[in-house]
Amino acid sequence: MSQSAITLSRITKSFGSTQGAEEISLDVSPGEVLVLIGASGSGKSTVLRIMSGLETADGGEIWVNKVPLHDRKRSSEICGHVGMVFQQFNLFPHKTALGNVTLALIKAQNCRKRKPTNAAWRH
């Protein structure tokens, strides 16, 4: 394993007979910006969903900050430290901008506001 922040090694993922990712390998160094470019259906979103833990790869290894994400027993160690912004998303119209942004913290990390007017969070 390298000293990369993120390493994907021979990642595969299929959805039935459709191949979503085939033998994907890459290293992302700390502070590096990486862009995935490809045609619609080429597997960009699948790779990102695997990297963020929203999908499970069928094969290969994934390391995030030296934690083996492919090891389901240890994958929770990075929960809350990896995020993803979807290209097409829906906001809840009954919530404020702050309410929409912080909803994930409330649901995923069981955080709550200290005061209704304060954006400081605690676990």
Per-residue pLDDT, 114: 46
Per-residue pLDDT, 21: 86
Residue 110: is its pLDDT beyond 50?
A: yes
- 38 burial class (0-12, 13-18, 19+ CB within 10 angstroms)? exposed
Residue 60: is its pLDDT beyond 90?
A: yes
Per-residue pLDDT, 116: 42
C-alpha 97/C-alpha 91 separation (Å) is 8
Across 13-41, average pLDDT: 88
Across 73-81, average pLDDT: 69
Residue 33 · residue 84 · CB < 8 Å: no
pTM (predicted TM-score): 0.62
Instruction: Tell me the residue length of the chain.
Output: 123
Residue 78: is its pLDDT beyond 90?
A: no
Residue 112: is its pLDDT beyond 60?
A: no
Please give the domain boundaries of the chain with CATH numbers for all domains: 6-78 (3.40.50.300), 90-123 (no CATH)
